[in-house]
């Protein structure tokens, strides 16, 4: 079966009150039009045309060559928008799904159900509908005695009886492609707005005796069309619930789903536990048997199996199997941790590769560094990577020990098995198995503390008498 998609994305979205083009507003980390195009891709549309207008360049920049484009220079109604795809799709045999770019919750399962009904009934058009307890503001779906759709009546035109109908038009359709464009050529703009309405195609096809079906979506929340920030928040909430449910069904434990934020592209392995307050964003991939949170903020990072992250921020980081991070650690871009690494409290890692079994337990900064296996950093140890002009590299080979409050002034290399004494500032390379001390010799002055106290007391007494 040849199947096409037309995404209506030309509206400016004035009610959003935003500099950002409406369909590029994100829902769970992904622009709304991206959700719609992905749903069409997942049901294997052969061609997808996105009708753009305001903000065309921004939409094209985001979607790239995933789709084809048609330009609607003047916004003259939904029928006029679909007509802009005529030159691209008119000659195609098959069916075409028409969907708005601001309906991010319409799922591929719903689209598949609509297409299946359309084919089974031999319909010329199938309307995606929803049943709402409070359908105010929506066009009502009227059906004949056989159950086929006879017409769509807008709210303002409804009789009192028709207003009681709870089945509404969502604005998504499935058409026989040839019949769609034939009917579009007959649509007139003789209405108060002087616009060409896509709903008129339904009336034209019905008048020709064609079968018009209506597919009722299972979850009415999918019908949300985002026109303002209130609807955007509602869509976000609905998408979050869907994403969280999918992960839980796949074997992930969310201790408190209502207080867990997971964006659309995040992947999580089974038997991982996510604690409240956790935010997982971007292209993050988390393995199995991990413990994430509470209060973990992870973006565009890859975590292997058995990783623990608590009260920490990870951005574009890689974390190996069995490694623990936090609490209160910060892994910045370029952090690459091996297996069974320990990153403790108030530790910051940036653009550094740490091999297996490395321990940086507390209050340290490791930046622009290559750290070998089984290296231990004491409390307060840092790599001094920036000289005010350039970033320099620090290398520490396997089995070395870096004492507390050590400054490694890059560029510098500490050899295998070397020992750097606490409090040292290292400016030259340390050879393998050497012990490095770089601090002033301690001097004790017997009894001098008592002299200092007497001196301070005398000054204090003099200041009081004056």
Q: How many CA atoms lie within 13 A of 145 on its CB side?
A: 0
Question: Distance of CA 403 to CAs 83, 295, 359, 373, 435, Å?
Answer: 72, 30, 12, 16, 11
Contact predicate 168/188, CB 8 Å: no
Ligand-binding site membership of 173 (annotated): no
Ligand-binding site membership of 258 (annotated): no
Ligand-binding site membership of 264 (annotated): no
Contact predicate 124/205, CB 8 Å: yes
Q: Which is catalytic among the residues 35, 311, 362, 428?
A: 362
Q: How many CA atoms lie within 13 A of 212 on its CB side?
A: 27
Ligand-binding site membership of 422 (annotated): yes
Ligand-binding site membership of 376 (annotated): yes
Instruction: Give the pair of three-digit tokens for residue 328.
Output: 């209160």
Ligand-binding site membership of 365 (annotated): yes
Ligand-binding site membership of 42 (annotated): no
Ligand-binding site membership of 386 (annotated): yes
Q: Among residues 49, 425, 105, 59, which one has the least CA distance to residue 233?
A: 105
Is position 136 annotated as part of the catalytic site?
no
Ligand-binding site membership of 140 (annotated): no
Ligand-binding site membership of 404 (annotated): yes
Q: How many CA atoms lie within 13 A of 66 on its CB side?
A: 20
Ligand-binding site membership of 329 (annotated): no
Ligand-binding site membership of 350 (annotated): yes
Instruction: Give the pair of three-digit tokens for residue 92.
Output: 């195609």
Ligand-binding site membership of 22 (annotated): yes
Planar angle of CA 285, 288, 291, nearest 5 degrees: 90
Ligand-binding site membership of 378 (annotated): no
Rounded Cα distance between 101 and 174, Å, is 15
Ligand-binding site membership of 265 (annotated): no
Q: Among residues 145, 150, 39, which one has the least CA distance to residue 100?
A: 39
Ligand-binding site membership of 102 (annotated): yes
Instruction: Give the pair of three-digit tokens for residue 243.
Output: 């994403």
Ligand-binding site membership of 306 (annotated): no
Q: Among residues 277, 281, 252, which one has the least CA distance to residue 266?
A: 281
Ligand-binding site membership of 17 (annotated): no
Ligand-binding site membership of 9 (annotated): yes
Cβ density class 68-89: b for 16+ within 10 Å, e for less: ebbebeeebbbbbbbbbbeeeb
Which residue positions form the known binding site for Mg(2+)?
A: 102, 227
Residues with a catalytic annotation lie at: 362
Which residue positions form the known binding site for acetyl-CoA?
A: 385-386, 404, 422, 439
Which residue positions form the known binding site?
A: 8-11, 22, 72, 77-78, 102, 139, 154, 169, 227, 332, 350, 365, 376, 385-386, 404, 422, 439
Which residue positions form the known binding site for UDP-N-acetyl-alpha-D-glucosamine?
A: 8-11, 22, 72, 77-78, 139, 154, 169, 227, 332, 350, 365, 376
């Amino acid at each position: 079966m040849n199947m096409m998609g037309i995404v209506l994305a030309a509206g400016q979205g004035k009610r959003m009150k935003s500099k950002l083009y409406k369909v590029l507003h994100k829902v769970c980390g992904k622009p709304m039009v991206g959700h719609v195009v992905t749903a069409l891709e997942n049901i294997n549309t052969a061609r997808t045309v996105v009708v753009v207008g305001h903000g065309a360049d921004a939409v094209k920049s985001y979607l790239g060559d995933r789709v084809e484009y048609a330009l609607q220079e003047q916004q003259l109604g939904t029928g006029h928008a679909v007509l802009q795809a005529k030159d691209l799709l008119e000659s195609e045999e098959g069916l075409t799904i028409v969907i708005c770019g601001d309906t991010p919750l319409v799922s591929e399962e719903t689209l598949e159900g609509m297409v299946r009904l359309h084919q089974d009934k031999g319909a010329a058009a199938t309307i995606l509908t929803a049943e709402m307890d409070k359908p105010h503001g929506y066009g009502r779906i009227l059906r004949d005695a056989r159950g086929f759709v006879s017409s769509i009546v807008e709210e303002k035109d409804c009789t009192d009886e028709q207003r009681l109908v709870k089945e509404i038009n969502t604005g998504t359709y499935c058409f026989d492609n040839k019949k769609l464009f034939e009917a579009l050529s007959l649509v007139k703009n003789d209405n108060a707005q002087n616009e060409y309405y896509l709903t008129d195609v339904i009336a034209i096809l019905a008048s020709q005796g064609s079968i018009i079906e209506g597919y009722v979506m299972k979850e009415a929340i999918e019908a949300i069309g985002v026109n303002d920030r209130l609807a955007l928040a509602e869509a976000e909430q609905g998408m979050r619930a869907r994403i969280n449910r999918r992960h839980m069904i796949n074997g992930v434990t969310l201790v408190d789903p209502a207080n867990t934020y997971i964006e659309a592209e995040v992947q999580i392995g089974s038997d991982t536990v996510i604690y409240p307050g956790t935010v997982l964003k971007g292209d993050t991939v988390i393995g199995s048997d991990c413990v994430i949170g509470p209060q973990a903020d992870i973006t565009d990072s890859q975590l292997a199996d058995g990783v623990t992250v608590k009260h920490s921020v990870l951005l574009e980081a890689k974390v190996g199997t069995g490694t623990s991070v936090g609490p209160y650690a910060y892994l910045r871009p370029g952090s690459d941790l091996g297996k069974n690494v320990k990153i403790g409290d108030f530790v910051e890692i940036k653009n550094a590769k740490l091999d297996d079994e490395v321990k940086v337990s507390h209050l340290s900064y490791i930046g622009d560094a290559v750290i070998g296996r089984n290296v231990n950093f004491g409390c307060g140890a840092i790599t001094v990577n920036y000289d005010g002009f350039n970033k320099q590299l620090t290398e520490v080979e396997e089995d070395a020990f870096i004492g507390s409050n050590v400054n490694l002034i890059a560029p510098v290399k500490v050899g295998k098995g070397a020992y750097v004494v606490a409090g040292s500032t290292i400016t030259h390379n340390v050879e393998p198995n050497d012990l490095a001390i770089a601090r002033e010799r301690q001097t004790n002055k017997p009894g001098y503390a008592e002299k200092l106290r007497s001196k301070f007391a005398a000054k204090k007494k003099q200041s009081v008498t004056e």
